[in-house]
Amino acid sequence: MKKFLIVGLGNIGAEYVNTRHNIGFKVVDFLAKKHNVEFNTAKLGALTEVKIKGRTLFLLKPNTYMNLSGKAVQYWMEKENIAKENILVITDDLNLPFGTLRIKPKGSDGGHNGLKNIQLLLNSTEYPRFRFGISDDFKKGKQVDYVLGDWDEDEKEKLVERLEVCSNAIESFVLAGLGNTMTAFNGK
């Protein structure tokens, strides 16, 4: 059975639940709910499994806080013997318009502290990542407040549809492969 590690990045704690920075958690929560599975407390995070057509997806929400996400990713990759090309790390991205998806096979951390730590611990930039656009609609010097702020009403309204698209993209990643998924979902 082919295994995948789908990692939603975010910060633990009630004050972060509905923040833009926690879109990774929101995406894996949506996918888990869609497949009627619940997260359980596990080492370095909350974990659940989804089975899709002979594939096992380990959905992970690291509880290490964003800046130390690599510890959880490295641990579960090693524990479940999952290859780098079969992980998908979901993050927010200020450089993309709200709700826009960008899936890539590798790349820089783009200033994202979660990706920075994963890159450090995996000693590689070559692992698939899934960026969800949160836009850059903030005043100079207010980036942290914006990223750690709640979605506005318009974004909240559109988020459900966007989360459905995200879950479809993840399922495509495990069933159709990275290349086909990039073609079908990038910029959508």
What size, in residues, is the chain?
Answer: 188
74 and 121 in contact (C-beta within 8 Å)?
A: yes
Q: DSSP letter at 18?
A: T
Q: How far, CA to CA in Å, does 110 sit from each of 95, 106, 114?
A: 9, 11, 10
Sheet containing strand 40-42, edge to edge, reads 40-42, 45-52, 55-62, 2-8, 87-93, 129-133, 101-104
Specify the DSSP class assigned to residue 89: E
Which CA distances in Å does 5 have to 68, 80, 86? 17, 9, 6
Which positions are catalytic? 21
Q: Round to whole Å and give the CA distance between 14 and 81.
A: 32
